[in-house]
Structure 1
Amino acid sequence: MSPTTGTRSRTDYSGGLSRVVRHPLFWPLVALAVLLLANTVHSPDFLAISVLDGHLFGAPIDILRNSAPLLLVALGMTLVIATRGIDLSVGATVAIAGAVSLSFIASSPNPGAVSTVLVAMGIALLLCLFLGVWNGFLVSVVGIQPIIATLILMTAGRGIAMLITEGQITTVTSAPFKTLGSGFWLGLPVAALVALGVYALVAALTRRTALGMLVESVGINPSASRLAGVKARTIVWTVFALSGLFSGLAGLILASNVMAADANNAGLFIELDAILAVVIGGTSLQGGKFSLSGTLVGVFIITTLTLTVTIVGVSPLVTPLFKAVVVIAVTLLQSPVVREKLAARSRRRAARPEEVAA
């Protein structure tokens, strides 16, 4: 092999490695792999999956199930952020969904009936959809800044949930409703299957139709989008409505998991975790391009980190600190300045063999 051929192969290898490092999902996947490795070192059977009564159990299954509510909220948040918006009301919407559904089931003469559960879930989802439409109306029609418009519902939402539950923690006993949060189907948690099904549907709608391009165009330049014939108001209204709907579904899963509606604590700070997951996944808070796959990885990072803190034995009160450290590390590695420096370093390394050969 000639020196020129060897230099070219090394250059191609360095260039390929540089492209891999610059991929938006590279560092989030590295962070997730590091968390899984750290857990495996601490507990060698961390990744082990067992079968009991036809159902799968183990830490990976727990991560899938626990990620379901956050994934649903983060999907809606991704679309909202892609349009240069933000939705701070998702936590309150989660609480309202649980309060409405469990209050209806508790007041029903037959709480264990499938029809009762379906009606309760339908009412809760319709109300949450309306709340999302209300946020979209304030933002797209009235012209209120998204952070202010959703802050209104964030402040009032838990009060609404408290009114629905009369200030009490509402509990029920209903096997059909419990299935949503704790049940299994084909060996997998129902909650995870629901969340992944919604993820697949949203991915198909945004990447196989024009919806994703329209959302990105509105986020990049709303004025230019309107001049190009895009109904920016309708797009913004739609993403806020979807955010409310997905948050309501997440609220049903959380309420079903504990079979109780706690207006004060249900979905508390989930809006912050959703924003963290979206940012870790590479979606810019300035709007425009978004990554659903990045959001999925970000959700897994947040959930795995929370489980890691529990396994290691650290107080849950310290969990936000660990989340902040991971977010800072991943976002720094994803920043354009750091990427350019890494790329420049790779180019210098690739150029050194050529200088020697010359």
Structure 2
Amino acid sequence: MNKFKKITSSSMFLPLFALGILLLFNIVFVNDFLAISMENGHLYGRLIDILSRSSSLIILSLGMTFVIATSGIDISVGAVVAISAAICCMLIGGRGDGIPEHPMILAMLAGIGIGVICGIWNGLLVSKIKIQPVVATLILMVAGRGIAQLLTQGQIITVYYKPFSYIGANIPGSILPTPIFIAALMVLLVILILKKTSLGLFIQSVGINPTASRYAGINVVLIIFLVYAFSGFCAGVSGLIESSLIRAADANNAGLNMEMDAILAVALGGTLLSGGKFYIGGSIIGAITIQTLTTTMYAIGVSSDQLPVVKAITVIILCLVQSKKFQTVFNSWKNKRQSQKVVDRT
């Protein structure tokens, strides 16, 4: 009994439970959900697609986890994905002969770099100018797609340079899609940062009480600035993956609504939206769960227009569950049940 209580109280229980329910539903109602085949040396199947398509969201969720842990929010990441994709594709060029106008590595660095610059912009507004995070990042959320449209001159830039497609598909000789490896590297980077530095503790401290953190000698302004810059970095990497998947820069649709998915993944992973303690593992599972939910909705015939409604309801439920009022009522109910059990035994 104690073991069961320990498992259910774990931060990983909710995301794993939600993912398990979705997988069970798919196994029962979706044909060939577990089927995996090998074609031309590459693995194919719904499970592989879920892992591949969730890679961008996992990367975004890593940055969003740190931002939310500091009691912030970054609703501009979807627009930053579009800007990053536009810069990268614009530099490679859309020449039909398949010859890039600039080296692909330069274009990739520029795409990631512009993401970091956008993160720095958000970080300055929040940490230095003290604008509310949702307002500060709303500026770039609104203006970002306009910037991407200006860069592409309102056109969809198609990239014919074949190696560019390897970022979002498969590198020759690899059985798994490249995005899975990119996401794994990003997760490894975050784990190394948390293990080798005290940044994780500083982020939690700032999220719980920034004033006390400042008196304790923590540079609160720098910590907040860094988490937004890292969020921009993650959005820049995701922009490369998203543009490579379609081999084009689509300023209108690249990264559309991904900020909502990233926030939902972090919340589902157990990180409180009010800030404080965070769970990287939970965010990763949450991102995979969100992508599984998306795949499930499409599989059972739910249109893309209706999908945001399902996700919005999920966000509302998570916010209610995480609220102090709900926690108080739930703990009161649990204590009453325990007291009743003691009375029954006596």
TM-score, normalised to structure 1, is: 0.89
Which letter maps to 1:249? Answer: V
Structure 1 position 325, deviation (Å):
4.1
Match of 1:5 in 2: none
Query: Which ranges of structure 2 fall in alignment gaps of 5 or more residues?
Result: none
Is the CA contact (8 Å cut-off) linking 2:91 and 2:102 kept in structure 1? no
Q: Decide whether aligned partners of structure 1 residues 77 and 30 sit closer, same or farther in structure 2, where only a CA change above 3 A counts.
A: same
Q: What percent of counterpart residues are identical? A: 44
Structure 1 position 175, deviation (Å):
1.3
Alignment partners' CA distance in 2, 1:117 and 1:158: 23
Structure 1 position 155, deviation (Å):
1.4
Is 1:36–2:23 an aligned residue pair? yes
Structure 1 position 273, deviation (Å):
0.9
Match of 2:273 in 1: 285
Which letter maps to 1:253? Answer: I
Which letter maps to 1:236? Answer: I
Is 1:247–2:238 an aligned residue pair? no
SS at the partner of 2:221? helix
Deviates more, 1:208-217 or 1:241-250: 208-217
Is 1:315–2:306 an aligned residue pair? no
Match of 2:6 in 1: 19
Q: From the two aligned structures, give the one with the greater helix fraction.
A: 1
Q: Decide whether aligned partners of structure 1 residues 91 and 40 sit closer, same or farther in structure 2, where only a CA change above 3 A counts.
A: same
SS at the partner of 1:181? coil
Match of 1:258 in 2: 246
- Which structure 2 residues correspond to residues 1-358 of structure 1 after superposition, within 5 A? 13=1, 15-106=2-93, 112=99, 116-184=103-171, 186-329=174-317, 336-337=327-328, 340=331, 343-344=334-335, 347=338, 351=342, 354-355=345-346
Name the count of aligned residue pairs: 342
Alignment partners' CA distance in 1, 2:332 and 2:44: 44
Cα deviation code 1:276-315 (max 9, x no counterpart): 1111111111111011111111111110011001111222
Alignment partners' CA distance in 2, 1:204 and 1:346: 43
Structure 1 position 332, deviation (Å):
5.3
Alignment partners' CA distance in 1, 2:226 and 2:87: 23
Deviates more, 1:222-231 or 1:321-330: 321-330
Structure (1 or 2) with the larger CA radius of gyration: 1
Is the CA contact (8 Å cut-off) linking 2:94 and 2:160 kept in structure 1? no
SS at the partner of 1:31? helix
Structure 1 position 342, deviation (Å):
7.0
Structure 1 position 340, deviation (Å):
2.4
Alignment partners' CA distance in 1, 2:195 and 2:275: 17
Alignment partners' CA distance in 1, 2:298 and 2:179: 21
Structure 1 position 323, deviation (Å):
2.2
Alignment partners' CA distance in 2, 1:330 and 1:220: 20
Deviates more, 1:141-150 or 1:237-246: 141-150
Alignment partners' CA distance in 1, 2:127 and 2:144: 20
Is the CA contact (8 Å cut-off) linking 2:55 and 2:179 kept in structure 1? yes
Cα deviation code 1:326-348 (max 9, x no counterpart): 44555656663465267447735
Structure 1 position 16, deviation (Å):
2.3
Query: Which ranges of structure 1 fall in alignment gaps of 5 or more residues?
Result: 1-12
Cα deviation code 1:137-189 (max 9, x no counterpart): 11111111111111111111111111100011111111111000011463111
SS at the partner of 1:180? coil
SS at the partner of 1:50? strand
Which letter maps to 2:338? Answer: R
Alignment partners' CA distance in 1, 2:114 and 2:133: 20
Structure 1 position 354, deviation (Å):
4.1
Alignment partners' CA distance in 1, 2:321 and 2:31: 29
Is the CA contact (8 Å cut-off) linking 1:170 and 1:261 kept in structure 2? yes
RMSD: 2.3
Structure 1 position 116, deviation (Å):
1.3
Cα deviation code 1:75-120 (max 9, x no counterpart): 1111011111111111110000111111111167985469711110
SS at the partner of 2:93? helix
Deviates more, 1:122-131 or 1:239-248: 122-131
SS at the partner of 2:225? helix
Is the CA contact (8 Å cut-off) linking 1:22 and 1:339 kept in structure 2? no
Q: Decide whether aligned partners of structure 1 residues 188 and 76 sit closer, same or farther in structure 2, where only a CA change above 3 A counts.
A: same
